[in-house]
Structure 1
Amino acid sequence: MKKLFVLSIALTLFCTGNTFAMDIRKSSGNLECAYVEWQTVSGAARYNVYYEQTGGEKTKIDDKLIRRYPDYMRADALGLKAGVYRLTIEALDESGKTIDSATTDCLDVKANVREGFAFTDGNVPGAYKMDGTPKDGARILYVTENDINKITCEVKDKKGKATTYTGLGDILTAYSKGYDKTPLIIRVVGTITDTGYAGIKDGNYLNLAGFNNKDRSLENVTIEGVGNDATLYGFGITLKRTKNMEIKNLGIMLFGDDAVSLDTDNKHIWIHNTDFFYGKPGKDADQVKGDGSIDIKYRSTDITISFNHFFDNGKVMGCGGATGEDENLRITYHHNWFDHTDSRCPRLHFVTAHIYNNYYDGVSVYGIGNTSSSAAFVERNYFREVKRPMMISGQGTDKYDEKTGTYTLKGTFSGQDGGMTKAFDNIFVNEKTKLKLVYQTDNATQFDAYKVESREEKIPEDVKSVTGGCAYSNFDTAADMYESQPDAATDVPETVCMYAGRTEGGDLKWTFNNDTDDEDHNVNAELKTAIVNYKPQLIGYQDSPTTSINATAIEGTGIQKYYDLTGRKILPNTKGIIIVDNNKRRYKILK
């Protein structure tokens, strides 16, 4: 008790008595990160930002984590283990002297939920440890629109010789040979476009691929966004022959095919806290919102999809190759926000799936689609205005003809054989739409899911799907099943809405109109316009020479004022840059 009292006093002293000389706009802790925003300081040439825990030393963050926006500065500290932190900002003049400083209040940093099939057999996907800090020896690369093709990194070859490569595309090509297993963290700063990145694969993807699926796979890579505005615009990410990979905290907009494609021989992959918006329209009628958000197939297994925000996506997740799999893919889906999506949340084909604590928020066509040889354990999810929450191909509401009262339809989402779904403790709220859900307690054969009274209850072996004769594997009660502690279904909306997607909900926020959008699966014209017209607000990061310019018009002149990263005014002929005024007149500014 005495130790707890002393700790309480230390924490109180740590969190109080701060002097706010400069103007801090806001600050907060989040999932293994913390941030602070402040107003620029007159006379400051640069800033230093530090983080510290109770009783710990101050640690300086990288300069590229310190960024300027039109009317404020921002810094994010990443790779923090759970705990209580403070951030301190120092404003320095040109001689390096501190002219102002401020320290935040205490910020509560929480841990990511690391569980599911991706974390089985002792694996930790990505370049971070289980505690959220970088793995030993991890390399960190910062990429922006202006320098993604200029950054450098050493990569070792078969003999251990290190060669320096330039540009993210060439760096990843060197890593793809599969000899260098050094953990790699790729941090995206601001927006990167398909026209700005020279390493685009097939016009659609940032390519993460290994040489083979045995000893030379690409391993231990995290690609993550910095702050709330990191965006891939016009392209997505593809993985092939990879292991222990992590994708997080990104907004992906107007991608060409899939936003994230796990195509062939990927294992122990974690995709989380990402915002998925519309893709580019495809050639087929069902691709008007893009082909799909996440595609998982061809021996890509041991995957965790968690805390993502899907904005009105059409075909959200198709999981399992079209021609089948050698063995079932093992995938966990938890705490995702299916925000007025249409279908495939997910669609399973030769998949063993654990689906829990997801928020189905106005899903217009169907939620979970279970087909050939798939086993799905669906527990403690919250379904709001979802007409068909769970479907098994070839039976139940998939076959039911309301006009005749018979099970004679060809099927509403798949002509494939059916799998088997176990359902436990889910919540359904349908005030406007009629819930179409049949359990075995209502119809012994033509059901949409087999409802159990406890997590441990097994489905009898003689219970099989109508088409294909698939029995439930009872994987979730097997001795080798991973541990999980799902939240109560009543808590799901609040938790998911708070943490799903990018930090702070991202910089492009959208609230759907439930009265019109719950049952509408057409493209939301206003949302599409917002995505097409999306403009990044980032001006630049500290010491970036090509992006540190902010222009504001001077009324009545057509000329603009220009400011550097620290807010100091730049006059014509004083800096080594080129500017353009409102009338498109060019000014060459000499060094």
Structure 2
Amino acid sequence: MMKKWETITGTSISAKAEGISLTESGGWFESAYLKWKPVDKAVSYQVLVKSAGAGDPAYVQIDDTLIRKYPSYFRADALGLSAGQYTFKLEVNFANGSSKTIVSEPIAVKANSRTGFAFSGESPSQTGSGAYEENGALKNGAQIVYITAATAKTVTLDVIINNSGKKQTATGIGEIMTLRQKGYDKTPLIIRFIGQITGEDMSGQLNSSGYLQVKGKSAYTEMNMTLEGVGDDATAYGWGILVRNCKNLEIRNLGIMLFPDDGISLDTSNCNVWIHHNDIFYGAAGSDADQAKGDGSIDVKNASTYVTVSYNHFWDSGKCSLCGMKDSEEFFVTYHHNWYDHSDSRHPRIRQASVHIYNNYYDGIAKYGVGVTNGSSAFVEENYFRHCKYPMMSSLQGTDTLGKGTFSGENGGIIKAYHNRIEQADSLIYANTNHGTTSGNETSFDAYEASKRGEIVPATYKTMAGNTSYNNFDTLKDLGANQADIDDVTAVEGIVTKEAGRMNQGDFTWKFNNETDDTSYGLNSELMSKIRNYKTQLISVGVK
């Protein structure tokens, strides 16, 4: 995605660009950026963007807040771009009233993959795009709020608070959320986080458990809201996000470190929620022995349905994703193109739900991949399990009853597996084939292996505990993903390791040691030290 600057086309532009050094540009998913070295004696910068094929009148100035200063460069990001080619124009202003201008080469911007249950035609909103249109552009009339370490407590927004349209000025991101919770203001709202924002920066804005609470008035309240990070370094440091009663909500491009309990918790009565392109690191240690890395990274529970969790990078998570807790009715979730990077378990761990799991990269998994209980059904297709100890498990049967690592005492669920790549698994028992580490077992198995994608799993294959069969939801429901949306398993590693997580893999670098980290589920003290010592390189926000 990143591209070094080469030449600036046109002699007139070269003349105007004297003394300006553009160093880097790139396109990402519905966004683009450029960097330049500080210009001697400049007093301010303006950045404009347009479609590469449009004339100069099409240039639109980006918000000044999207221009930031770092130790050796300035950076500007343009967000809300539909897929296509774009051109930046940088204007440099000087104290004497003069200015210089330089124009970039065309930059390619990709479309996000709007697939999965959050976009199912059978879902209440049929979208999880929040405050954006389906093509990635801002919705008409969308409001934008910028949150930095300096403004989290002071940012203001006028919010409608009654049926008559009366507005009240909210101060601080916490009060903005509180007033929106009244349910009268449906205006599309984009909350953009810039740089490292600590729990201290968010003091007074979080609930008593350390979460930014995003809550609707009642179950499945229309939110039309997007929470997103700007650039490659937006980081929620020491706090998490709690979502309740929300419909049509998007969370993207955030790094979440040292969160309390859960990183992102879809806690109660949510639908059409899309969580994508985030980096989830260690949380704060909990009181239980299995919470040394924090608790859930992204949990979906308590009547939360029609959810897509995609293109996230989980860094050695202990418990990646609980999918269902006290749920007693069927709900629908999709996990795709996530990078489970040396994490341990719950990828996801499913109760009651019907879950589509495709194109994920299970990269050195110490405990287990997909786990099903309580009559749940999971369609697991085109995933790459590299050295995943137990790729698929159903409670109280198959691998779970061989002394290989019981993960639940609940009734089991059924997995339909299709065209997955399995390498270095300790145990995988298919019901109907002998492609696993043991021969097929029609009564005590981990998964049913389909010979073709649309195959119906016979009702004769039942769980040993609970006596339930696969519900074949993948052939009966609108999954929000067609076969054309599914990448071949041979391409999964390359796609996921390049595109999961924050923009251009974010500003945090770490390389796991496969020889030791593949099988270890203990906390990596060196990684934790780096997370604890993380500091933003951002110096200032604005045009100067």
TM-score (norm 1): 0.85
Secondary structure, aligned partner of 2:272: strand
1:171 match:
176
How far, CA to CA, are the matches of 1:109 and 1:190 in structure 2? 22
Cα deviation, residue 250, structure 1: 0.2
CA displacement 1:439-471 (0-9 Å, x = unmatched): 432111111110011111010122111111111
1:70 match:
71
1:92 match:
93
Which residue of 427, 430, 442 corresponds with 1:438?
430
1:475 match:
473
How far, CA to CA, are the matches of 1:42 and 1:482 in structure 2? 52
Secondary structure, aligned partner of 1:477: helix
Q: Is the 8 A contact 2:429 2:441 kept in 1?
A: no
Cα deviation, residue 328, structure 1: 1.3
The higher-RCO structure (CA 8 Å, 6+ apart) is: 2
Work out whether 1:340 is the aligned partner of 2:334.
no
Secondary structure, aligned partner of 1:180: coil
Work out whether 1:424 is the aligned partner of 2:424.
no
TM-score (norm 2): 0.92
Q: Is the 8 A contact 1:88 1:102 kept in 2?
A: yes
AA matched with 1:211: K
Cα deviation, residue 480, structure 1: 3.8
CA displacement 1:145-170 (0-9 Å, x = unmatched): 10111111111122111222211111
Secondary structure, aligned partner of 1:367: strand
2:268 match:
264
1:415 match:
409
Secondary structure, aligned partner of 2:177: helix
CA displacement 1:347-401 (0-9 Å, x = unmatched): 0001110000000000110000011111100000011111200001111001014
Work out whether 1:124 is the aligned partner of 2:116.
no
Distance 1:514 1:481, change over 3 A: closer
Worse overlay, 19-28 or 356-365: 19-28
How far, CA to CA, are the matches of 1:61 and 1:96 in structure 2? 21
Cα deviation, residue 415, structure 1: 0.4
2:316 match:
312
Gaps of at least 5 residues in structure 1 are 1-13, 403-410, 544-564, 566-591
How far, CA to CA, are the matches of 1:390 and 1:210 in structure 2? 36
Q: Is the 8 A contact 1:269 1:302 kept in 2?
A: yes
AA matched with 1:299: A
- Mapping for residues 133-144 of structure 1, pairs under 5 Å: 133-144=137-148
Secondary structure, aligned partner of 2:367: coil
- Mapping for residues 365-384 of structure 1, pairs under 5 Å: 365-384=367-386
Cα deviation, residue 218, structure 1: 5.3
- Mapping for residues 126-525 of structure 1, pairs under 5 Å: 126-158=130-162, 159-197=164-202, 198-213=204-219, 217=221, 219-321=223-325, 323=326, 325-401=327-403, 412-430=406-424, 434-441=426-433, 442-478=440-476, 480-484=478-482, 485-525=485-525
CA displacement 1:398-440 (0-9 Å, x = unmatched): 10147xxxxxxxx61000000110000000122xx63544343
AA matched with 1:262: L
Cα deviation, residue 101, structure 1: 2.8
Cα deviation, residue 259, structure 1: 0.2
CA displacement 1:534-570 (0-9 Å, x = unmatched): 0111011115xxxxxxxxxxxxxxxxxxxxx4xxxxx
Distance 1:15 1:412, change over 3 A: farther
Q: Is the 8 A contact 1:33 1:76 kept in 2?
A: yes
How far, CA to CA, are the matches of 1:245 and 1:183 in structure 2? 10
Cα deviation, residue 120, structure 1: 2.0
Secondary structure, aligned partner of 2:200: coil
Q: Is the 8 A contact 2:120 2:478 kept in 1?
A: no
Return structure 1 stretches of 4+ with deviation > 4 angstroms. Answer: none
Distance 1:218 1:207, change over 3 A: farther
Greater radius of gyration (CA): 1
Sequence identity percentage: 47
Secondary structure, aligned partner of 2:368: coil
Secondary structure, aligned partner of 1:413: coil
Cα deviation, residue 260, structure 1: 0.5
